[in-house]
Structure formats: C-alpha cells, structure tokens
Structure 1
Amino acid sequence: MRSFVDLDGLVGRVPFDVVGDLRVIDTGRGSEALYRDKLPALLTSLAQRARVASIEASSAIEGIVVESRERADVILSGEPVTLRDRSEQELAGYRAALDYLYQGDWRPLNMGLVLHLHRLLFSFTDVPGGGFKTSENVVVDRLPDGTHVKRFTPVSAAKTPAFVDELVARYSAATREDRHHPVLLVGLFALDLLTIHPFLDGNGRITRALTNALLEDSGYEVTRYVSLESSIAASADRYYDALQGSTTAWHDGDHDPWPWLRYFVHVVRGTYDEFQRATDTARAAGSKKERVQLYVRDHAPASFRMADIRAALPGVSDATIRNALDVLRAEGVVNVDGTGRNAAWNRVGSQL
C-alpha cells in the first residue's frame, strides 16, 4: 500500500538497466500471440511443465518438499489421493490455489480473492485458512550459525485488513490510470503484500500465485509457460536481499523500491528469455520433430521406446525426440509407462 501513495515520486524515473529489461519483456509479450497460433502444441506442453514446476518451486521455497517424484506427480494431477503428511497437504493446497487462478474466473482483484486463495492453500490441512492474522508476526532470517535476525516488522494485525483493502484499491486505480509500466505495478503490489504480511503462514505463496495472475491480467502471459517461481527459487538469496533492501523505512513511506524492482523485473525478463529459447529450439527442430511425430503416428509399433525411434530416424537428437513425444502426449496421441530411456510409449487406442 505504501508504494502506491506517491507513484511518481517512487518510480517516476526508471533506472536505465531496468528500462532495458522492460524492453525485452515487452518484445517477448508481442510474440506470445504469434506462438499461440504457430506452436499451439508446444505451448500446451510448456504450460503443463510450468504448472508443475511452479507448484513445486513455490512450495520448496517454504521448505515444503514431497518425498518422491511419483508422489508429487499423483498429488499435482488432482486425482483423489490420501495425503500422508503436512508437506503433501500444503503441496495440494498450492495446486488448488494456482489452478483456481489459472481457470481465469478469479477477477476482480479484491480482498475476498486474497482470503479465498489463502483458504484454498490450507484447505487440505487442519489449519483454518481464509482469515487474516489475529496476532503479531515478525519476519526473521535464520543465519548459518543458527542465530536469527529480524528482516522487517509487518503491519499490525489490527491494521492488516485496512492495509490490504487500500493496497488493492490503489493498485487497481494505478492500472486504470496507465501512467506506469504494468510490470512495475505488479512488482510493487508484490512488495507491499509481502511487507504487510497479512497471514501467519502462506504469505510468500499467496503473493507468488497472485503475481502470476496479475502479470497475465496485464497481458504478460509468460508465467503460464515458464515458471516464475522456479526462477525465484533458483535465486533465493537475491530474492531475500532485494526484499530487505526495499522494506527498510516502508512503514514511513520513505523506502527505496528499486532493489526489489530490479530483482523482480530481471526475473520476469529471464522467463521471457527462457520462453524465447524454447520457441527458437522448437522452430529450428521443426522438420526433425515433424519426422518423429509422423513416425510415431503412422509407423511405430503400438508400444515402443526411444531406441526404436533412434533406429528408425538416425541423426535426430534425443532432445528432439523427447520434445516430439511430449507434444504428442499433450495432444493425447501417446501415453508413457515408466521414466528415462527405458520408458515404454504407447499409442492411445492402439491394440497391443
């Protein structure tokens, strides 16, 4: 909320390095519609991977890790399953919150949405979700020697509902006015929500989920195809350092947003870089990938392995074969049993 009181004063002059990252982001945004038309199967495959990566990475940042790949896959599929422990419950909760936003019917942004996402996040646990904190909390970092240091003091429990309500109102007004870059506004919203820290638990995950939704709502859909949470998890130290740099004097409205915004914008730019690499690779390998897809559709046995494709199509890399198989699986043409090179691929509907 504090970041939106004087937007012109805080972000009226954008540093040159941030301008450069924003240019890359806007160029990438312009290519999204093109790839939706030309590479729909690839985008479907990327979206499926990004969903899984986002749920796992955002949970892992908070120390929530499921014991095996197989268990995580079952939980993230949404199929009915008995959840064995708190980590599995919270992984399922973040899946529910993120999927709710991905469905696209979450608008408008309001305090009720924030509370609903928190309710979903803890819907599989015994912890009551969907309510703001009722006691005070302090955000601390645990140092390697085991000591703790206070990172910042959040807004008091008594003031939290009013601060969240005002943050939503000010962010919505700023987006309507369209005077500042949308990615900067989303970054400031995330900074303020993290600093308000409206819940006793789940603040980071709720903020990261909303960040995806607000970027997409502003026309930046890349987080559907490349996991923003994975990028944050891979740069966790810089994430916390940037927050530390921008929360100082936040309560007085005299904070410096640029440590956080530099980090945030650069991470968003990185997702577009990764998206571009994926689409470039797909286009470059298009003819070979099409050969793989044609072979699988018309010539491969009903059940086959990657080695069969290698033998039939010499010169096609394993990466291209895997990419083609992922696309065919996303289209429902094939399914797979097992993992790795010995996985058995089956054409859907074929008689074995």
Structure 2
Amino acid sequence: MKSFEKKYIESITIPHHLITIIRQIGEYKGKQELYKKQAPEMLENLRHVAIIQSTESSNRLEGITADINRIRDLIEQKIKPANRSEAEIAGYRDVLNTIHMNYKHIPFNKSVVLQFHRDLMKYAGKEGGRWKSTPNEIIEILPDGTKKIRFVPVTPHLTPDYMQTLHERYNNISKEGDIDPIILIALYILDFLCIHPFLDGNGRMARLITVLLLYHYGYEVSRYMSLERIIEQTKESYYETLHKSSQGWHKGKHDALPWVKSKRDTSRISPLHHVKKIQTKYKSRSYEGVKFLQPVEKLHF
C-alpha cells in the first residue's frame, strides 16, 4: 500500500524507453483476436504447454518439485497427489484453472485473495485462507550457512489493515485510469510481497494474482505462455530487483522503479513476440514434450 500513497505515486517518473515498451504491449493486446483466428490449433497447444510450465515453474521457484510426467498427470487430473509436493502442485493447478476459466466473473478484492490462498493450500493440509498469525521474515542463507535477514514484512497484527488499505488504494487509482495497467500491476505485486500476508505461498499467490490482473486489463497472454517460466529463467534478477525496491518500503521511501523496470521482460509477454519465437525456434511437431496437432506454419501480421 506504500506504493499507492498519493505523494509516492506522484513522485514516480517513468523513463521514456519503458513508456515505449508499455505502449508496444498495448498495441499487441489489440492483435490478440487476429492470432486466435490465424492459428487456433497452435494456440491450443501453447495453452496446454503454458499450464504445465506455469504450474511446474511457480512451484519449483519455492523448492516444490515433482517428476514432469507426474505433473502432467496431476494437471490433467489423471492421478491424485501422492505427497506434499504434489499436493502443493495440485492446489496451484486448481487456482490457475479457476482464473483461466472464470476471470471475467472474478472480482479483485481481499476476499478473493483469501479464497485463492485457501484453494492453493487445500490439498497440502496447511491452514489456508487466513492472514499470517506469526512473523515471517525473509531470510537469506549465505554460502557459509549463516542466515541474513533480507527484509522484515508487515507484522501479523497489522496485516489485515494493510491488505484492506492496499486494495482500497489500488482500486481508487485503477478507476482514475491515469496510470498504465502494467505499472499498476507491478506496484500492487511489490506491495503484496512487502506485506507478505500469508505464512506460506506468498510468491505463488503473487504470480497467480498477476495472471488474474492481466486478464482484467484485457491481456490474455498468460493463457498461451508461462509468465512463471519467464520469472524462473530470470530469478536472480527478479529477486535482486525485488530486494532493491523493497528497501525503505515501510517508510514510503523505497524506489519502485527497479521492480517496475524489471517488467521490461513484459515485452516478452506480447503475443507477437511469443508467436515469432515459436515460429523460428520450434518448427518441429512438438514443443516442451507436447506434440502439436500440426506443424507450426508461418503467420502473417
């Protein structure tokens, strides 16, 4: 919520090159229907790949792993979770599917955030759908085994009020329409991670919320490619920029731009970029182990 304080919002200066990238992303959004008409079979295969990659990468970022064949079977609900890791993966699958299928009817408020967390944890035997009850400092383990506190999130007793305020401010600024949605999403996720409202699952929740908000602003790209996979591939810079932008957050003296700038990778979420990448790099009949219904052919733009 610190990033949405009026004084702070007004102090943010967005570099010209970032404005250009964001404008390009907006242009690509307008071409989504064209892609659907030109290559429906390819997009359907990409959709299946994206679900697998998203579920696998988002959980692997938190140290939750399973055999890829088991993950595929879990996603297709052919099997039930056999252990805690698979239970966590199944929970992510359910929430992600809920978003993909029902985003038009899902409002964005703190009750929905709590419901997502409940569903995320429902197979794992963990307490889901409640704000944290004990402190959850962000700890880094150094090579010599010593522990270092990287960030101290909001205390448990303040968390409900902070989340309430975050949503109120986000909604108010969103309705004004003066700030680009990509920037608004980045600021919300930064504040969410600084509050760290749950004892477990905050990173996965942040990525699920990102998918929902992109849908709300008309970006369907997460249906066809895995944003979670991009984050995993750039996780060192992801965590470093998060660390930089969280410093001074409690006093509203943080610098959100490193975090917002890191979303320059959102240029990679453009459908045009992804389709061209698929055209040039994956002209075989399979991609990430999933067979295409037909060879990928050149599209015309």
* Alignment TM-score, normalising by the size of structure 1: 0.78
Q: Distance in 1 between matches of 2:286 and 2:152?
A: 48
Where in structure 2 are the equivalents of 1:304-319 lying within 5 Å?
A: 319=283
Match of 1:111 in 2: 110
Task: Quote how far apart the aligned CAs of 1:322 are.
Answer: 3.5
Q: CA distance change for structure 1 residues 281 and 245 in 2, over 3 Å: closer, same or farther?
A: closer
Deviation at residue 280 of structure 1 after TM alignment: 3.7
Equivalence for 2:299: none
Tell me what 2:65 maps to.
65
Q: 1:72 to 1:181 in 2, by over 3 A?
A: same
Give the Cα separation in 2 of the matches to 1:226 and 1:41: 15
Matched position secondary structure for 2:134: coil
Distance in 2, matches of 1:62 and 1:89, equals 14
1:195-274 alignment runs, 5 A limit = 195-263=194-262, 265-272=263-270
Contact 1:136/1:156 (CA < 8 Å) preserved in 2?
yes
What does residue 51 of structure 1 align with?
A: 51
In the alignment, is the contact (CA less than 8 A) between 2:52 and 2:71 conserved in 1?
no
Amino acid paired to 2:4: F
Q: Distance in 2 between matches of 1:219 and 1:41?
A: 22
Residue aligned with 2:292, SS? helix
- How far is 1:224 from its partner? 1.4
Distance in 2 (alpha carbons) for counterparts of 1:95 and 1:202? 14
1:41-76 Cα distance to aligned partner (Å, 9 max, x none): 22211111111111110000000000x222111111
- Tell me the equivalent position of 2:160: 161
Helix, strand or coil for the counterpart of 1:140?
strand
Q: Tell me what 1:9 maps to.
A: 10
Match of 2:293 in 1: 327
CA distance in 1, matches of 2:277, 2:10: 42
- Match of 1:28, as an amino acid? Y
The number of residues matched between the two structures is 291
Superposition CA RMSD, Å: 2.2
1:278 deviates by: 4.5
Spell out structure 1 runs of 4+ moving beyond 4 A. none
Can you list the C-alpha shifts for 1:260-303, whole angstroms capped at 9, x where unaligned? 1111x21211222xx32443477x79xxxxxxxxxxxxxxxxxx
- Match among 67, 92, 95 for residue 97 of structure 1: 95
For residue 83 of structure 2, what is the aligned residue in structure 1?
Answer: 85
Cα deviation per residue 1:309-350 (whole Å; 9 max; x = unaligned)?
A: xxxxxxxx9934447951359xxxxxxxxxxxxxxxxxxxxx
| Cα shift at 1:95 | 0.6
Does the Cα contact within 8 Å between 2:117 and 2:201 map onto a contact in 1? yes
Q: How far apart in 1 are the matches of 2:273 and 2:106? A: 31
1:276 to 2:272 alignment: yes
Cα pair distance change 1:101/1:151, threshold 3 Å: same
Contact (CA 8 Å) 1:56, 1:65: kept in 2 or not? yes
Q: Is the 8 A contact 1:10 1:256 kept in 2?
A: no
Q: Which has the higher contact order (CA 8 A, sep 6+)?
A: 2
In the other structure, the counterpart of 2:75 is: 76
8 A contact 2:268–2:274 mirrored in 1:
no
Consecutive unaligned residues of structure 1, counting only runs of 5 or more, are 286-316, 330-352
- Structure 1 residues 9 and 233, CA, compared in 2 at 3 Å: closer, same or farther? same
Q: Output the CA distance in 2 between the equivalents of 1:217 and 1:115.
A: 18
Alpha-carbon deviation of 1:143? 2.3
